[in-house]
Amino acid sequence: MLIDPISIEYSAPYYAMALAFGYLLGSIPFGLVFTRMAGLGDIRSVGSGNIGATNVLRTGNRWVAAATLVADGAKGAIAVLIARYVAGDTMAVLAGTAAFVGHIFPVWLGFKGGKGVATFLGLTLALSFPIGLAACATWLVTAAVTRISSLSALVAAALAPAYFWYADYWLIIPFAVFYAVLIFIRHKDNIQRILAGEEPRIGAKKKTAEEA
């Protein structure tokens, strides 16, 4: 079906606004903000240097890590919900995708952000609550079986496009594939450790120098 070029011309500013709004919202580095507010220093100098909730947890402050997880997820959800309310589903998908990209590549931090899992789950819940729940359940089940957080995220991201396909959300499927691909790219080091059997497990204590 051909698209009326006049419609594209008039819609372009709205698409641009949805992308800009989502990106700026997604690029807020809550992990960095919360750890500094809690007097924990710069999260980029802790563990992997990532600004996400998993690395924030390495500071030993579970409350700050939980707040980061919720806020990072909320970025994606809020972008989707506001854009949908203002301009419909297409704008909602674009804004949510931009928030996801903004979290991973925030302009304020030299485009070095998180791995996108919490924001991905948040925007997925907002796009389709049942499918979002399915993705979260996939994470939880995989984590319960394997005790590997990164593997749980990878499985949830990989299956999300299939969930959208099963529910006939054709508009979202290409974007869901994009989310999965980017999450896999951001987890390339984790994938290497998983294959080598060296990825840390949830709740496992770190080895001491003598044990290592």
Confidence of residue 208 (pLDDT cuts 50, 70, 90): very low
Confidence of residue 45 (pLDDT cuts 50, 70, 90): confident
pLDDT tens digits along 97-117: 999 999 999 998 888 888 999
Half-sphere exposure of residue 53: CA atoms within 13 angstroms, side-chain side: 20
* DSSP helix/strand/coil, 30: helix
Q: What backbone phi and psi angles, to 5 degrees, belong to 208?
A: -75, 170
**Do the beta carbons of residue 68 and residue 53 sit within 8 Å?**
yes
Residue 212 reports pLDDT greater than 60: no
pTM for the whole structure: 0.86
